[in-house]
Structure 1
Amino acid sequence: MGRRRADPKAETLRESRTLNPHPESVADERFTDSEFFDARDLVQVKYEMVRRVEVDGVSVTTAAAAFGFSRQSYYQAAAAVAESGPAGLVPAKPGPKGPRKLTDEVVDHLEELLAADPTLRSSALAELIQQRFGTRVHPRSIERALARRHTESKERPKSSP
C-alpha cells in the first residue's frame, strides 16, 4: 500500500496554527463553489464570516452557522479584525507570555543584591532567590534575565526634563 502524499498547503496551515479543525462545517456557498476560498484556511474563513456580516448585512446568527462557528466566535473574530485587521485572526503562539519565576520583582531584587555585592555569582544569587521567594531558579536563567534587563535599559530612550 502506498503512502498518501502530504498536502503542502495543509502542512503550511498546520505549522502556522491556522488549519481549520472542522472545514466540513463551512457551508457558505463561496467556500463550496470556489477554488479560491479554502475552508481549511481558518483565517480566511473567519475573515469572510466577519465580512459577510459587516459588508453584506447578513445576520450574525446566519453567518456564524454558515461558517461553522458560534455567535461568540463571530464576536471574537470581529473584535480581532477591528483591532488588528486580518492579522488579528492569526492565533497567538502557545505557551507562557512572560517570565513566571524571574518576574520584575525578582530581577529588581537581583539587581539590588548585585549593587550591594558585585562579586556575587549566579549560583549564589539562585540560592538567595530560593531563600527569599521560595523559587528555584537555574543560575543560567538568572544570567539571561539580568542580561535582558541590561539590554532593555540601554534601548529605552532617556526622558528629557
Structure 2
Amino acid sequence: MESKVLKPILAVYVGLFILFLYGPFIVLGILSFQQGPEGGPQFPIIEWSTYWYKHLFGLTPPSRIAPLPVGEALVRSLTLAFMTMVTATVLGVMAAQAFRKRFRGAGIVFYLIVLGMMVPGVLTGLGTSLLANNVVGVERHWWSTAFLAHVVYTFPFAFL
C-alpha cells in the first residue's frame, strides 16, 4: 500500500528536481533567440532573431557586446584548459606520491591542499585577480593570472 502512495510522490519530487537542474538551460535556450546585438535577456521577447547563432558561426561582424571572434575565444579556452590539465595533473601526481610515506605535518599539508576544493571557484578567481592587480601589480591575462587560478582550483582534484 505504501508503494502506491510513495511512487507518485517520488516521481513528482524527481520531476521537480530535474526541472530545477535543467530549467535555467531551457530559459537560456529560449532567450538565445532574442534580437541582437543589443537585445538583452528579457521577457517578453520583443523581436525573435537568430542573430546569436549567426554570430556563433562568424556570419555577423563583431559588436560592442561580443567583440572577440568565437573561434579565437575557443582556441584560447582550449589552450588554457590543456595547460591547466597538464600542470594540475603533474603537480597533483607529485604531491600524491609524496604522501605515499608518512611525514611530519602530513595531516596539515593534506588539509591545506584539500582546502582548495572547499573554496568556491568564483572566490578563488576573484581573489587571484584582486591579489594580482592590487597587491602584486601584475596585469591580468589569460596565460598568467587565469592560468594560475585554474591550476589552484583543479590541483586538489588531481591530488585526490
TM range, smaller chain: under 0.3
TM-score in terms of structure 1 length = 0.20
Greater relative contact order, per chain length (Cα 8 Å cut-off, separation 6+):
2
TM-score in terms of structure 2 length = 0.20
Higher-helix-fraction structure: 2
